[in-house]
């Protein structure tokens, strides 16, 4: 198994990141997991609210139940760690009309996904889950929102996949829409 790449820059991490749906049966060291959580803690947030909260799930039985709550996506339970990414929010809406918490949690989760690449770990952002089932399983209070599930582990196939992305010309406009 390849050791952590030294000095991987952010562009390499972005280029290498992929959604991993098959994990090795290998634990993640506490110090590595703590670095990922620290990356989330340092993320920016609207008005510095820092509404994100994370539940670290390592228990195999709970991970299997999370996989069922995630519409039967078995690979969720296969990962040695599943982060349940939540928001403790008062529902603040930014001037632009968007709720803060889903965006802020997304930024923190993206910090984790990119840092995971630098640790030779894989992740897969899960939005297909039943929030009520996750809340019941983990005793999450009603006022807390579950934004995403994030299985984390060592990829069974570490080779990067070819990314099918739109061209820059398709996604960028200058000065005006048309």
Domain membership of residue 151 (yes or no) is yes
Query: How far is residue 129's CA from residue 58's CA, in Å, rounded to a whole number?
Result: 18
pTM: 0.92
Domain membership of residue 145 (yes or no) is yes
Residues 6+ apart with CB under 8 A from 15: 160
CATH of the domain at 56: 3.40.109.10
Residues 6+ apart with CB under 8 A from 132: none
Check if the beta carbon of residue 148 is closer than 8 Å to that of residue 126: yes
> Helices then strands (H, E): number in the chain?
7, 4
What is the enclosing helix (H) or strand (E) of 66? helix 60-69
Coil, strand or helix: which one is 67?
helix
Domain membership of residue 94 (yes or no) is yes
Range of the domain at 36: 10-157
User: What are phi and psi for residue 122, nearest 5 degrees?
Assistant: -120, 155
Domain membership of residue 165 (yes or no) is no
- Find the helix packing angle between 100-118 and 30-41, rounded to 10°: 140
Domain membership of residue 173 (yes or no) is no
Query: Which pLDDT tens digit goes with each residue over 14-39?
Result: 999 999 999 999 999 999 999 999 99
**Is the pLDDT assigned to residue 3 strictly greater than 70?**
no
Count the domains in the chain.
1
Domain membership of residue 33 (yes or no) is yes
State the Cα torsion 47-48-53-56 to the nearest 10°: 140
Sign of CA dihedral 134, 145, 110, 169: positive
Query: Which pLDDT tens digit goes with each residue over 34-89?
Result: 999 999 999 999 999 999 999 999 999 999 999 999 999 999 999 999 999 999 99
Domain membership of residue 64 (yes or no) is yes
Domain membership of residue 51 (yes or no) is yes
Residues 6+ apart with CB under 8 A from 73: 21, 67, 126, 128
């Amino acid at each position: 198994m390849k050791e952590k790449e030294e000095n991987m820059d952010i562009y390499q991490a972005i280029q290498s990141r992929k959604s991993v749906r098959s994990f090795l049966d290998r634990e993640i060291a506490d110090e590595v997991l703590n670095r990922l959580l620290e990356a989330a803690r340092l993320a920016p947030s609207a008005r510095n609210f820092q509404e994100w909260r994370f539940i670290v799930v390592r228990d195999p039985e709970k991970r299997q139940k999370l996989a069922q709550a995630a519409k039967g996506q078995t690979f969720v339970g296969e990962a040695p760690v599943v982060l349940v990414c939540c928001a403790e929010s008062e529902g603040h809406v930014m001037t632009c009309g968007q709720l803060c918490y889903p965006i802020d949690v997304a930024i923190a989760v993206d910090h984790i996904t990119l840092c995971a690449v630098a640790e030779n770990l894989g992740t897969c952002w899960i939005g297909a889950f039943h929030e009520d089932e996750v809340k019941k399983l983990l005793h999450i209070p009603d006022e807390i929102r579950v934004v995403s599930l994030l299985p984390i582990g060592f990829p069974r196939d570490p080779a990067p996949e070819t990314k099918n992305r739109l061209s820059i010309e398709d996604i960028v406009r200058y000065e005006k829409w048309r």
